[in-house]
Amino acid sequence: SPSRARGTSSQLIEKYKRYVSGSQAFKYFPMIVGKALNARIWDTDGREYIDFLSSAATYNVGHSNREVLEAVKTQLDKFIHYCLYLYHEPVVELAELLAGITPGSFEKKVAFGLSGGDANDAALKAALVYTRRRVIVSFDYSYHGTTALDIAVSGSFSPELRGLMPFRDVYFAEYPDTYRCIGGVEDPEECGELYLSRFEELLKKIGGSNVAAIILEPVQGDGGVLIPPANFIKGVRKMASEHGIVLIDDEVQTGMGRTGRLFAIEHYSVEPDLMVLGKALGGGMPVSAVVGRSDIMDSAPPQSFFATSAAHAASVAAAIAVVKYVTRNNLHERAREMGEYALKRLNELKEKYEVVGDVRGLGLMIGVDIVVDKKSKRPDRAKALKIIWRAWEKGLVMMTYGKYGNVLRIAPPLTIPREDLDKGIDIIEESVKDVLEGKVPDEVVDKMTAWK
């Protein structure tokens, strides 16, 4: 039942709050993970959930994927890791694999990190050193990680926090939003042109020759699943080339098949100079990578992207298994098929409920925009939070994101069985109904967002 007692859980959660820093808090539900397999999670009380979050697009190959586990175990039986003072085999195999599957016919090199954020940091450093320029252009509501440089270039952090970071040479461009397009423009192509012309104006104002890098999410994830029109991305690529600016494609959330292509940038037939991978790359093990033009990747001096645990042998072994699993099983194709099916079902909800304002997605990266009413498109964050709380009570883990905090994020493992996908969508519908019928109290909104 929804109100089931969680005695031991609540004691552990109290301790968590006492000892773990609030700066790492991001907890919506008082739930302790006990076990996870494919698209399901069990809490330590044995309750089962479907996972529509998959730690925000990390478990593309499913939780506890056998091939990933075996690869890690095999590596651990040989040695845990030896830092890059010495060569080891897995790092070479993964670098070669990544150079082979990423777009771009140029000569590539790869650098490894531990998180999406540290790899973005490395890519930005590479661009600064390579171009000998100071300015970085990013986008409103972007998310690139939490190193000081990442925070400085992430539009989703508050201007106050960004202002405290040592790197200030950042400009934020508007990211195309075709649902709430500037000027109320409805046609996606026209909307893309409009944003592109504003981007061009901004670049002119800064002076293109001052810009080291443009850092771009090919689909904005944490911003609320915003899918830019192709003409916008193509235009940005063209301007970057004209001004000798390094185009960094942040595929931390979109990579490894999530959007129905191996990498989301392929939807636009655009080649970035540097691509950043993380999350799903390691199938849950910590590993990230920057893959890109050799001349840029080699411009920074030795050790400037170094970390003792970078290219960790066990994580790299996991990543090799992930790359092989995704490509051998055409998991990106499955993401596309399942995504189309989910969009069809969710669009039926949009027809039925006034609060479901927009349903958008690419592959299994889907957002459901909860609004006060369809006409005003006014975001309804409180209602979205109540829906995910109710869904959690009914056995579905899902979160809200977005620049207004009102978007239900659907990003299950790409291996999710159709029955689980259906069951999860059924739970969403039941939860929407319950919220509309006033069955979910207002207090849950504070419960989910009071981190401390």
Residues forming the site for ligand PMP (CB under 6 A):
56, 115-117, 120, 143-145, 217, 221-222, 250, 252-253, 278-279
In 3D, which of 122, 98, 355, 362 has the Cα closest to residue 221? 362
Q: What is the 3-state secondary structure (H, E, C) of 279-295?
A: HHHHECECCEEEEEEHH
Following CA atoms 141, 147, 148, 152 in sequence, which dihedral angle do they give, to the nearest 10 degrees? -20
* Closest to ligand PMP by CB, 33 or 372: 33
* Closest to ligand PMP by CB, 407 or 427: 407
Alpha carbon distance 275, 216 (integer Å)? 10
Closest residue to ligand PMP using C-beta atoms = 116
CB of 444 vs ligand PMP, minimal distance in Å: 24
* Closest to ligand PMP by CB, 252 or 262: 252
Alpha carbon distance 360, 372 (integer Å)? 18
CB 254 within 8 A of CB 32: no
**Residue 301 burial class via C-beta count within 10 angstroms: exposed 0-12, middle 13-18, buried 19 and up:** exposed
Maximum alpha-carbon separation in the chain: 63
* Closest to ligand PMP by CB, 252 or 265: 252
Q: Which residue has the tokens 């990544």?
A: 98
Residues 6+ apart with CB under 8 A from 374: 354, 357
* Closest to ligand PMP by CB, 252 or 256: 252
CB of 311 vs ligand PMP, minimal distance in Å: 16
Alpha carbon distance 175, 139 (integer Å)? 6
Alpha carbon distance 85, 160 (integer Å)? 40
CB of 49 vs ligand PMP, minimal distance in Å: 21
CB of 2 vs ligand PMP, minimal distance in Å: 29
* Closest to ligand PMP by CB, 278 or 429: 278
Chain-centroid distance, C-alpha 78: 33
* Closest to ligand PMP by CB, 90 or 117: 117
CB of 114 vs ligand PMP, minimal distance in Å: 8
In 3D, which of 395, 380, 397 has the Cα closest to residue 435? 380
